[in-house]
Each structure stands twice: as structure tokens, then as C-alpha cells.
Structure 1
């Protein structure tokens, strides 16, 4: 069973009375839940637009609460540790939570927060840090966060600041960061190193880099080139990408379009045929179709490669658990041997198939994407907290007395019960609603948001929890990653927010923006699709 949804009552309390949604352990929660059942019985009397407004306002309230907790205690540092109300700096002490929060504050129209972040970003020195820099994480969080802020403030949300120089600074700081990172590509092949040290312009000495770490740079670095008029940034990422678009040796592409994970930095050759849509590989496939959305005239070859991967995924990786054949998950592979386990990270897959089907006019991809969304919804619908686990399996050889009943009822069993504030299920709900218009997906997103708020909210923020199938989520892990601001809050808000130019296209419209893997909307450069 799962905790009951607070539905309209909790949102209305936040909007009308100024209450915050109840936190874990708050006795108000059960009381509100009981009252909510009666309220939902009368929900047909409330217009859909009122429901959406109240839900969006409640999410904005939660975002503001978390932002105030972070910025009051940890301004200039990366993340708040909400249990101990202390700060941590896993992202080079450049203020990751602030930069990641900018595009969400913008789409929510939170002008005071936007002003605080713009003022802060102007003070960051991206040329120096004493700690290891991760190229992939820095690109998707910092660079994309600033480029997205620039696009939104130069375009549809220009009313949220009168400080033109602060907007220009976003682009200048993006360039400064890219200039600092560019030595990563100084290898014999052009495949970048992922772990960097600015103090002496070196790396960690690794001889390999991963599929997602290489293949999730092209959108941000190309967009920087397009905005600055300097092709060098995009050229670096595109050269690395060519090894992934034309993989060698052929044996390490076990299915058409589906490749291995580890790439030799010195020559760009794949070193294995292990892969799938799980973490470490995931956003390579995600960006293939998103580069086509970004510029369909320049990157049609990316969509060709995505179509190959999508067709092979449907043909070879589709898996229906024996105990619940109505569910659809994606297996991974080791060579041509399939592995029936998956991750919360993988649950972006439904949204990616939906986006691909929408822009390519392929109903089969849309239908498959919806099946994947339904499977990931059941992850949330099957646990005590109403939140999905980090890792799960439907491999029948792993079913024992401890998980047999759970597996037979739910079609999977939990192998890692952590919830790290991940956004992927909410992300796929968002795409499902935008592309189909079915309000069921709004309800699913709202229920997930209420469960996350009720279980992970602690102190002045939100924390990872140890066990999604334990009372109150087990224990708090005292981690509030910056992607809570960038992704969980943004998708939870936008699915209920009014239509706008930066939303994923719906009802036959064209995409004016494309979301990077950290949910930062970037303005498309080519003909909208």
C-alpha cells in the first residue's frame, strides 16, 4: 500500500492559508489525508484550471521553502545537508544548488530568487578550484543552468529582471567555464577525460571514459558555440561524439544502435558490449533525439541513430515480468545476454520515447513510451512510501522468501531501496501529459510529489531516504542534491503550469525549447519540430 494523496486539500492549504505541505512525522498529515478523501469526492465541482493552479502553487511553495533553507545557510556553497543544517561542496564550491535552481525559479516566476541567483553567479570564479572537476556533471548543471537562464531572460521571461548586464554575465560565465574545462579534450583522439584538476591542468589518469559522460556534452557545448559565434566549443563535443555515432569495433554494437559502455580515450574504440538505458549509458540515447529537436537540419544523423537504438530497444530489450506481464521494463545486456534489472535513473526512457515519437510522427514510439511510463508508475504505486526504489529486478532466479510475495504482487522486487530525490519518473509523467493531454498523468505526478514531500522533507530542505518500502522512508541520508531544484521541482510544477513557449510542445505545436538532461530548457537553434 502507499500513503494516501493529499490532493487538493494540501495544495489549497498552501495557497489560501499559507500553510506548507505537511512534513514527515507531522500529525497533520493523516488528518489532512482523511479530509482529502471527502474533498476528492467533490473534486468534480472544481474546475480543472483551479486544480492545476493550486497544485502548481503548492509545488512552488515547496521549492521556495527548500531554496530559503539552502540560501540562508549555504549561500556560495554547493548543497545543504538538511538533517544537520550544514553545508557540503561536492561540486567544486561554485554554488551548484543556486545555478541549478535558476531556470526553475524563472519558469515559476520567482523574481526575488532570480535576482539573488543572478547576483551570486556574477561572483563565481570558474577558473579555479582545489577539488576534482567532473566534466559531465559540470556541463549539465553549471553550464546548462546558466545558458538556460540566458535563453529564458533574453526571451520569454525577460520581464523577470531589468539588469541587462546580469543576463550578459550568464553567457560570459558560461564561456569562462567552458574555457576552463576545454583542456579535457586535449587527448590523441579528442575523447575527453572526465575527471579534471584545474590547479595543474591534468586529469585522474583514467584510460577510458563512459558512454553517457562523452555523449552528454554535445547539446550544451554546441549551444554555447551558437550563442557566442565561436564554433570551437561545439567542435570539441562533436568530434568526441563521432566515435559514438560510428562505433568500432562492430562486435561492441551487439544490437543495431545499441553499443557498449566504456570507450578508450586514446583511440575512441569501444572496449565492451555491455549497456542499455541504465545509468552510465542513459543520457547518450537521450541526447540523440534531443540534438535533432535542437536543430533538425544539422543533426538529422543523430535522429537516425536514435531510431536505430529505439527499434532495437523495442525488439530486443522489452521485458514483461512473469508475475506481471502487464508491465513493461527495459532489460540491459552483456553482449547478447539480457539482464532483467533496472534503475530509477532508467525511468526517463518513457519520456524520451514519447518525445521521439512526437517529433518524428511515430505513434508506435509514443505507445511504447506510455507502456514504459506505466511500468515506472507501478514502482511508485507498490511501495509503502509511494516512491520508487533506486534499483529493482524481475529476474526470477533472484526471488527468494524475503521478496517472493512482493514480486508476485508487483512484478519486481527491490534490490536497492534508496531514494536519492531522483526526478526520472516525474520527468516521464511530464512528457506523457504534454504529449497526450491525459490528465491522469497530472494526477500521478501530484501523488508522487505529495509522497516525496511527506517522506523526504526534513529540517530546512529535503533529504535522500534509505528505504522506500519502510515506514517514513527508513532513515534520512542527509543529502539534498542540486537536481532537486533543477528537476524534481521543475517537472512537478510544469505539469500543472499554464502552457508556455518553453514547455514541451503539445497539441500539434512545435518545440521552441529542448530540455537538457538536468531539465534546463535551451532554446532550439534550427527549425522547430
Structure 2
């Protein structure tokens, strides 16, 4: 019996173990099957094209990462700053009161302008069609080789940047074709690990908002909100100051920190776009984000080494804006100042801070940065230089930049908006100074950076030929020391100010100046496919082309040329405000 009991127990234990092994095997197989299913689903998500929704008549691809649902590690403290409300003051008119001219001369003039508009439109279409055929959905066309480039996230920056231009020129078929493509952009799909917050804001977000303001297509607004929510994450830092480059992984992990040496324009030029997005959507989080930066500017304006202005670079991590001693209206700082009167305008005059910031800044610019060049004809023109200032030292370099040519338009607009006639006069002199630099070059185009012999005040000074022989460049027009960077990168700043001065003064001479500039640029930059940057504006004969056509050529430079020959009621300066990429945003 004992032996039989033992045998029975052994057999029973074997049966139990066998049952357990079978169960474990089956469970393992089920786990493997589940794991395989998960892998297949994951691969399908990655490699199988998304089936877009149909929204408002467009095939719409939602961004595969929804930043609006991502919890911020450093959320904005309550209360959220609200868009200003109340009775809007009656703002002065910015645009000249143009009157229709039905005289024979007026009719003939309109015919000339119509021919010029058509020419600009044809050149735009040449570049656009080449982009459409050879670089579609990529960031840029390579205008010499016919290739493409992706330097802005691969999110079709030329496509998006050109949307409002297509609408303005009445190219509705091309517009809706481009919108259809833009609605399939997934902001989470990029080969880049970081995004340039400034460039993406002014180019992509600004373009989408302008396209929506013009067309009222709701799908465009949805795509703008997706992007706005991604860019809003740039403010998720310990001190709520924005980053310059937003690393996606750091943003997801709550590890973003504001930079310690960042261009002032890059972190202080989101105001227009974020404010307009807040106005359209009613979501004040966007306005709250940029208002905090404006308050920082206000707190430091009179504590820098050149009181009234802010230095070229900021330490946003410590919120110390006196770590740099260089000052300019040119590259790296330009749009900070440009947006001050424009913010006042888009807010309907309900936020007086921006007028205060502008007035104090420009008082310093006029006293410290503007200079008059020494020329044989004592030309009544002005340029903006670059300054270095400490507590004991002030040095103004008479170096000017193509970037700085925007200042003519800024002074003109603000002079009308804030009723400062002196600033309108300064605007004309800065604008004509940039035109003078264009006319001085063999190609008829101003260089990227150049140095000029300066007078010691803003008053006329006599020509000093001995000084010219010592300091000047005999290969250039008298008055020039050098063309330190002789390139032309298809930039818009000079024609931007010429356009503004025409719309502000009504002086048709600016239209003739614009036509001369346009012909020179086309002649020097045109390729078989489109238009290209050039290496040297000082050369005679054929120019050396660079295989580059930035998106702002189609979206900005040609836009100002087209509009200056168009009816002034198209994008009136009293109804729209241009962001720094020339995207017209509607003032509520």
C-alpha cells in the first residue's frame, strides 16, 4: 500500500507539473501573439500613410503629436493675462488718402502700373511653378541646380510662406492647390531634433494666420492652432521665458531652459503672431506668453548700457538684459523694434506700453545710432549704424546693413500712428539712404553690409576729399569705405520701406524708385528656373549666382513689389499690419 501510494503520488505530481507546463506554454504563446500584434500595429502606424480626415472640403492630416494635450511642467501662473478690452481709441490714419484719378493722365498711369503688376506676377509664377515642379512640399527650391533643400523642419516653408501672396494676386487655383498640400503637414514629422521658434513663428504661423484672415478657410485656422500649440511649448521653461531653439525631446520631458546668449529679436518677436492667434481663437494663453516678454523689456529699457535700447543679445535664463554692450537696428535685433508700433496697432491702441517702449527706444536711436553720410552732393539721407556702449565708452560704427533698411517703414508707420511728424521725415531719409546705396552699386542693388564715411552730426557736412583718399574705396561710389559683405540674398527690407513710404505719403516717385530696383534685381538674379542670391553686387556684367532662393523672395520681396503697383485699397495699412515676413494680419 505504501509503495502504491508513493507511485500514485508521483504520477499525480507528474500530471500536475505537465499541466502547469502546458498552461505556461499556452500563456507564453498568447503573450507572444499579443506582442506580435502590437508590433504590427506600431509598424502600420509608422509606415502606412495616414488616412486623412475630410475637414471643410480638404483632406486634413492631424499632427500626430497633439501639443495642446501635453501637460506643461512650468504652467503659466494664474491669472492668465487677458487681451486688453474696452473702448478703442480712434487711431490716426496711417495710409495716405488716395483719390481716384480718371483724367487721361491717370488712366495712362494705371495702364503702366497694370503692366508692372503683370510683370511681377509673371516672375512670381516662374519661381512658384519651378518650386511646384521640382521641390514641392520641401522647404526651398535650389534655383540653379533644380534640386531642393529642407532647412525649416521639412514643413514646406516656401509652400506655406506663399499662401497669402497667391491669394493677393488672385491665383485662386494655385492657392487652393497649396492649401490642400499645407493641410497634410504633420508638425511631428521632421528629421530635425529642434525647431527654430522665431523662424517657424514668422514664416509658417504668420503665413497661416494671414491666409486665414484673407480667405476665412477654417481648415487653415485649425492647422495654425496645431502649430501655435507646438510653439507655445517654447515658453514651458522655469521662468516662462521662451527658448530660441526648441528641442522636441526636452519639450516633452519638461527640460527646456531659456538661453543665456540669444538674439534679442529671436525671443522678443512673437508678439504679432501670438496676439493675432489669441484674438482669433479667444484663447488668452498665447497673449499671456508674449506679454511676459514685453514686461521684461519694459523693466530693462532704461537699465542697459545704452538706456532706451536693448542690447543685441539677451541672457533669458537669468532675465538679465545687460549682459551685452552691442546695439543695432540690424540683424539679430531688428524685429524687436519693428513690432513695438505694430503691437500697439493690432491691439487697437488699448495697450499703451508699446507706444512707451517705441518712443523711448527711438529717442535713443535718433540720438545715438542714426548718422548722415559724407557725400560730394551732401545728400539728405540717413543710415543706422551699430554701437558699442559701456558705462564709460560709446563708439558708433558707421556700418550699415540691408537688414536695417526696414527702419524707414517702421519710422514712417509709427510717425503716423503716434503723430510724430519728425519720424515721418526720418523715415524718408532712411528710405532714400537705402535707395542711394542701391543706385551706387554696379548691379543697382545694395550690399548686405557696408561702411560709409559719416558726418559728425545729422546736419550736412562738407566733402573732405583728403579723408576720402585715406578711408574710401576708390572702386566704389564716393562716400563708401567698403562693401564688407557684397552679397544680395533676395532680401526685402529696402523695397519694404519704399512701399511703406509710398502708401504713407502718396508720392508716386516711390513707385518709380521701386520699378528701377525691381528691374535691377531681376536682371542680376534671374536663372533659367527662378531667382537666386548673388555673391557680389559690385561687379559689372554677369553675376555669380548662389544655389539658394529663400522663401521670403516669393512671400515678401515680390509681395512688396506687387503691392506698390497695386490699388492702395488692397491690404490697406489702416486695416492690416504686416508681420516681419510681410504676412498681412487683420486688425480686429
TM range (shorter): 0.7 to 0.9
Residue in 1 that maps onto 2:30: none
Evaluate the alpha carbon distance shift between residue 406 and residue 289 of structure 1 in structure 2; reply closer, same or farther with a 3 A threshold: farther
Q: Does structure 2 conserve the Cα–Cα contact (< 8 Å) formed by 1:379 and 1:387? A: yes
1:205-227 CA-partner distances (Å, limit 9, x unpaired)? 84232211122101101111111
Evaluate the alpha carbon distance shift between residue 175 and residue 491 of structure 1 in structure 2; reply closer, same or farther with a 3 A threshold: same
Matches within 5 A, 1:93-492: 93-131=154-192, 132-154=194-216, 167-201=217-251, 206-247=259-300, 250-255=302-307, 257-270=308-321, 271-323=323-375, 325-326=378-379, 327-335=381-389, 336-395=394-453, 403-406=472-475, 409-411=478-480, 413-472=482-541, 474-492=543-561
Query: Take 1:322 and 1:523, find their aligned partners in 2: how far apart are those partners?
Result: 42
Query: Take 2:317 and 2:419, find their aligned partners in 1: how far apart are those partners?
Result: 39
Taking structure 2 as the reference length, what is the TM-score of the superposition?
0.75
Evaluate the alpha carbon distance shift between residue 402 and residue 322 of structure 1 in structure 2; reply closer, same or farther with a 3 A threshold: closer
Query: Take 2:399 and 2:221, find their aligned partners in 1: how far apart are those partners?
Result: 41
Q: Helix, strand or coil for the counterpart of 1:334?
A: strand
The Cα RMSD (Å) is 2.2
Larger Rg: 2
Q: Does structure 1 conserve the Cα–Cα contact (< 8 Å) formed by 2:472 and 2:478? A: no
Residue in 2 that maps onto 1:58: 119
Q: Does structure 2 conserve the Cα–Cα contact (< 8 Å) formed by 1:430 and 1:441? A: yes
Residue in 2 that maps onto 1:16: none
Q: Helix, strand or coil for the counterpart of 1:404?
A: coil
Q: Comparing 371-380 with 171-180, which one deviates more in the overlay?
A: 171-180
Q: Helix, strand or coil for the counterpart of 1:522?
A: strand
Taking structure 1 as the reference length, what is the TM-score of the superposition?
0.83
Query: Take 1:426 and 1:177, find their aligned partners in 2: how far apart are those partners?
Result: 30
Query: Take 1:203 and 1:189, find their aligned partners in 2: how far apart are those partners?
Result: 10
Residue in 2 that maps onto 1:6: none
Q: Helix, strand or coil for the counterpart of 1:342?
A: strand
Query: Take 1:457 and 1:412, find their aligned partners in 2: how far apart are those partners?
Result: 29
Task: Tell whether 2:572 aligns with 1:514.
Answer: no
Q: Helix, strand or coil for the counterpart of 1:192?
A: coil
The gaps in structure 1 that reach 5 residues or longer are 1-42, 155-166, 505-510
Q: Helix, strand or coil for the counterpart of 2:548?
A: coil
Q: Helix, strand or coil for the counterpart of 2:342?
A: helix
Query: Take 1:245 and 1:126, find their aligned partners in 2: how far apart are those partners?
Result: 34
Query: Take 1:198 and 1:87, find their aligned partners in 2: how far apart are those partners?
Result: 25
Q: Which has the higher contact order (CA 8 A, sep 6+)?
A: 1
User: Per-residue deviation at 1:192?
Assistant: 0.9
Q: Helix, strand or coil for the counterpart of 2:208?
A: helix
Query: Take 2:549 and 2:541, find their aligned partners in 1: how far apart are those partners?
Result: 17
User: Per-residue deviation at 1:263?
Assistant: 1.6
Residue in 1 that maps onto 2:147: 86
Evaluate the alpha carbon distance shift between residue 398 and residue 116 of structure 1 in structure 2; reply closer, same or farther with a 3 A threshold: farther
Query: Take 1:471 and 1:234, find their aligned partners in 2: how far apart are those partners?
Result: 50
User: Per-residue deviation at 1:378?
Assistant: 0.6
Q: Does structure 1 conserve the Cα–Cα contact (< 8 Å) formed by 2:468 and 2:478? A: no
